[in-house]
């Protein structure tokens, strides 16, 4: 191979590694915007505002959690005569109807039981049943969509409705916080992730003026907004909440996140349950990306969804597994063609990753002290213990190859050094593969105890990337779109 071709290959491999850096930089950019939210937010345009609110609660076999949720709704710091709850019973086969009817008798005129005889069509169909009833009555001025298991803090609805005082706002969402009384490892990881994806990311999106998604369990719409988006929730996608979020903004109305409005939810506490839930979410994002393909990177005066910054952030998450794979391919290609360049690029890549990791982790733990107390270990190990080993290798060259073996009077053979180097260079891809092992092990009784230590070694981030890849495969295969409900047991703190 002549020098020209070799230089071209080296340049190509460097570009591939550079593509792997883009999601890291996009994450840092979002976090840099979080402090700006203290000065650039919607609070200056909000004011005390108490419209007539209908709360629509979709419920299928939610008897274990529904009673507590309804009791908490009835004790919100909100005028009782301006609040109604429509529980849409999706042909439940447990005691859900009895629970709702008992609460309807306890809170006459405020809790209403709406029964669907044909169930199992999905959350969007269930919501539309309640929305149709609400819109048929002129009394409703705003509508809150929530999940049956979530617990609203007393001031949460009042904090959300204040933004609707600004007629330019079409919808408001709250901070869904993992609220299980005794969360396991998976739930604690989710608790930390929710701070990054909501408390941090959505504050940054407030600053950008483009919101990616209304939280499914806490989305408040003005009546005007509901009517403008068609008076119903889209039923053709698994991401009905994101679809409505985009429609609202494309029609010229704002979507606002209020981090002070806190809603507690019980989240999956097993890898397999998490996998089922997040494959549905990821497939929904595939649908959204495709359905709104004419929006991306097309700036508009009417909305900010087409801005370059929002597009880069969206696709950095959407294509994160691809970026990680390309970076690994680039490093291995460099190692084969120019080992010295590979070492330099590897260190540069992971130096950026380390700085981002320290910055983002510190910021996340500071944003939500309550979650930090519960999930600080999960925050520190979010990328996985394996990734932390790679970070040390980048920051302290030779530490694992010579220093540690030297403590025991050992040394790596040339072949061992090559294998170790390739392991470091490809860890991001290997971790996604190992995520499948974590899921598999959890389903085997004899070795199920290995699930937790493997999860910490692999990392929660790589598990999410593996789930996204699984969603891509299912979309490519044309797998059926099934809205699988996540089973809840009522573990949310009161």
- DSSP assignment of 480-491 equals ----PPPP--S-
**Does any domain span residue 193?**
yes
What does the alpha-carbon distance between residue 218 and residue 231 come to, in Å, rounded to a whole number?
Answer: 18
What does the alpha-carbon distance between residue 248 and residue 234 come to, in Å, rounded to a whole number?
Answer: 13
Answer yes or no: do 387 and 462 share one domain: yes
Q: Using the 3D structure, point to which of 256, 280, 302 is the last residue of a domain.
A: 302
Answer yes or no: do 292 and 364 share one domain: no
**Does any domain span residue 92?**
yes
**Does any domain span residue 256?**
yes
Residue 453's pLDDT is: 96
Residue with the two structure tokens 């080296």 = 10
Residue 288's pLDDT is: 96
**Does any domain span residue 440?**
yes
Q: Using the 3D structure, point to which of 302, 328, 362 is the last residue of a domain.
A: 302
Choose among 234, 248, 86: nearest CA to 173.
Answer: 248
Answer yes or no: do 325 and 294 share one domain: no
- CATH number, domain containing residue 122: 3.90.550.10
What is the number of other CB atoms lying within 10 angstroms of the CB of residue 482?
Answer: 12
**CA 280 from centre of chain:** 12
Answer yes or no: do 276 and 394 share one domain: no
The 3-class SS string of the chain reads CCHHHHHHHHHHHHHHHHHHHHHHHHHHHHHHHCHHHHCCCCHHHCCCCCCCEEEEEEECCCHHHHHHHHHHHHCCCCCHHHEEEEEEECCCCCCHHHHHHHHHHHCCCCEEEEECCCCCCCHHHHHHHHHHHHHCCCCCCEEEEECCCCEECCCHHHHHHHHHHCCCEEEEEEEEEECECCCCHHHHHHHHHHHHHHHHHHHHHHHHCCCCCCCCCEEEEEHHHHHHCCCCCCCCCCCHHHHHHHHHHHCCCEEEEEEEEEEEECCCCCHHHHHHHHHHHHHHHHHHHHHCCCCCCCCCCCCCCCCHHHHHHHHHHHCHHHHHHHHHHHHHHHHHHCHHHHHHHHHHHHHHHHHHHHHHHHHHHHHCHHHHHHHHHHHHCCCCHHHHHHHHHHHCCCHHHHHHHHHCCCCCCHHHHHHHHHHHHHHHHHHHHHHHHHHHHHCCHHHHHHHHHHHHHHCHHHHHHHHHHHHHHHHHHCCCCCCCCCCCCCCECC
The answer to whether the Cα torsion of 485, 486, 489, 492 is positive or negative is negative
Q: Which domain range does residue 271 map to?
A: 43-302
Which tokens is 248 given?
């609202």
85, containing H or E segment = strand 83-89
Q: How many domains is the chain partitioned into structurally? A: 2
Residue 421's pLDDT is: 95
What does the alpha-carbon distance between residue 6 and residue 2 come to, in Å, rounded to a whole number?
Answer: 6
pTM of the model: 0.93
Return the SS3 of 306. Answer: coil
**Does any domain span residue 309?**
no
Answer yes or no: do 298 and 341 share one domain: no
Choose among 281, 311, 243: nearest CA to 468.
Answer: 281
Angle (nearest 5°) at CA 63 between 58 and 69: 65
Residue 485's pLDDT is: 56
Answer yes or no: do 339 and 277 share one domain: no
Residue 203's pLDDT is: 97
Residue 389's pLDDT is: 96
Answer yes or no: do 212 and 248 share one domain: yes
Answer yes or no: do 213 and 255 share one domain: yes
Answer yes or no: do 343 and 292 share one domain: no
Residue 480's pLDDT is: 73
Answer yes or no: do 439 and 360 share one domain: yes
SS3 content of the chain, % helix, strand, coil (to 5): 60, 10, 30
- 461, 381 Cβ separation under 8 angstroms: no
Q: Using the 3D structure, point to which of 270, 302, 334 is the last residue of a domain.
A: 302
**Does any domain span residue 308?**
no
Q: For strand 83-89 and strand 53-59, is the pairing parallel, antiparallel, or unpaired?
A: parallel
Answer yes or no: do 161 and 295 share one domain: yes
What does the alpha-carbon distance between residue 347 and residue 358 come to, in Å, rounded to a whole number?
Answer: 16
Q: Can you give the pLDDT of all 494 residues of the chain as single tens digits?
A: 577 888 888 899 999 999 999 999 999 999 999 999 999 999 999 999 999 999 999 999 888 889 888 999 999 999 999 999 999 988 888 898 999 999 999 999 999 999 888 777 788 899 999 999 999 999 999 999 999 889 999 999 999 999 999 999 999 999 999 988 889 999 999 999 999 999 999 999 999 999 999 998 999 999 999 999 999 999 888 899 999 999 999 999 999 999 999 999 989 999 999 999 999 999 999 999 999 999 999 999 999 999 999 999 999 999 999 999 999 999 999 999 999 999 999 999 999 999 999 999 999 999 999 999 999 999 999 999 999 999 999 999 889 999 998 898 888 899 999 999 999 999 999 999 999 999 999 999 899 999 999 999 999 999 999 999 999 999 988 877 665 555 555 566 55
Which tokens is 334 given?
């460099």
**Does any domain span residue 327?**
yes
Residues whose CB is less than 8 angstroms from the CB of residue 156 and which lie 6 or more positions away in sequence, other chains included: 76, 174, 218, 261, 262, 263
**Does any domain span residue 310?**
no
Answer yes or no: do 290 and 415 share one domain: no
């Amino acid at each position: 191979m002549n020098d020209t071709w070799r230089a071209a290959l080296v340049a190509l491999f460097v570009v591939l590694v550079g593509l792997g850096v883009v999601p890291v930089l996009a994450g840092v950019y979002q976090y840099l915007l979080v402090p700006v939210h203290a000065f650039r937010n919607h609070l200056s345009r909000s004011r005390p505002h108490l419209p007539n609110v209908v709360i629509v609660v979709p419920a299928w076999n939610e008897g274990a959690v529904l009673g507590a949720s309804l009791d908490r709704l009835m004790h919100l710091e909100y005028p009782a005569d301006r609040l109604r709850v429509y529980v849409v019973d999706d042909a439940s086969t447990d005691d859900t109807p009895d629970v709702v009817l008992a609460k309807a008798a306890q809170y006459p005129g405020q809790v209403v039981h709406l029964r669907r005889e044909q169930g199992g069509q999905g959350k969007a169909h269930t919501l539309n049943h309640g929305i149709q009833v609400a819109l048929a009555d002129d009394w409703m001025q705003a509508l809150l969509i929530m999940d049956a298991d979530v617990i609203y803090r007393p001031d949460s609805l009042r904090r959300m409705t204040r933004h609707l005082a600004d007629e330019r706002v079409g919808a408001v969402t709250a901070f869904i916080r993992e609220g299980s009384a005794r969360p396991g490892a998976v739930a604690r990881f989710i608790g930390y992730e929710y701070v990054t994806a909501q408390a941090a990311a959505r504050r940054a999106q407030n600053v950008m003026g483009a919101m990616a998604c209304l939280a499914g369990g806490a989305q408040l719409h003005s009546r005007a907004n509901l009517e403008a988006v068609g008076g119903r929730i889209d039923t053709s996608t698994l991401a009905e909440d994101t679809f409505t979020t985009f429609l609202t903004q494309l029609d010229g109305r704002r979507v606002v996140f209020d981090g002070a409005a806190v809603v507690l939810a019980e989240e999956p506490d097993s890898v397999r349950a998490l996998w089922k839930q997040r494959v549905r979410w990821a497939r929904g994002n595939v649908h959204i990306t495709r359905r709104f393909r004419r929006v991306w990177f097309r700036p508009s005066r009417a909305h900010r969804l087409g801005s370059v910054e929002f597009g880069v952030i969206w696709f950095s998450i959407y294509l994160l597994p691809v970026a990680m794979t390309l970076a690994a391919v680039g490093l291995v290609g460099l190692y084969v063609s120019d080992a010295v360049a590979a070492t330099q690029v590897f260190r540069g890549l992971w130096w950026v990753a380390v700085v981002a990791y320290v910055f983002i982790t510190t910021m996340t733990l500071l944003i939500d002290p309550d979650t930090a107390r519960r999930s600080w270990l999960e925050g520190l190990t979010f990328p996985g213990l394996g990734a932390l080993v790679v970070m040390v290798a980048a920051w302290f060259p030779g530490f694992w190859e010579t220093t540690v073996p030297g403590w025991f009077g050992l040394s790596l053979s040339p072949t061992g050094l090559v294998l170790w180097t390739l392991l470091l260079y490809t860890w991001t891809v290997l971790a996604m593969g190992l995520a499948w092992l974590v899921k598999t092990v959890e389903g085997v009784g004899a070795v199920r105890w290995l699930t937790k230590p493997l999860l910490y070694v692999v990392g929660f981030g790589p598990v999410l990337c593996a789930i996204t890849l699984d969603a891509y495969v299912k979309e490519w295969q044309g797998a059926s779109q099934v809205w699988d409900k996540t089973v809840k047991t009522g573990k949310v703190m009161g």
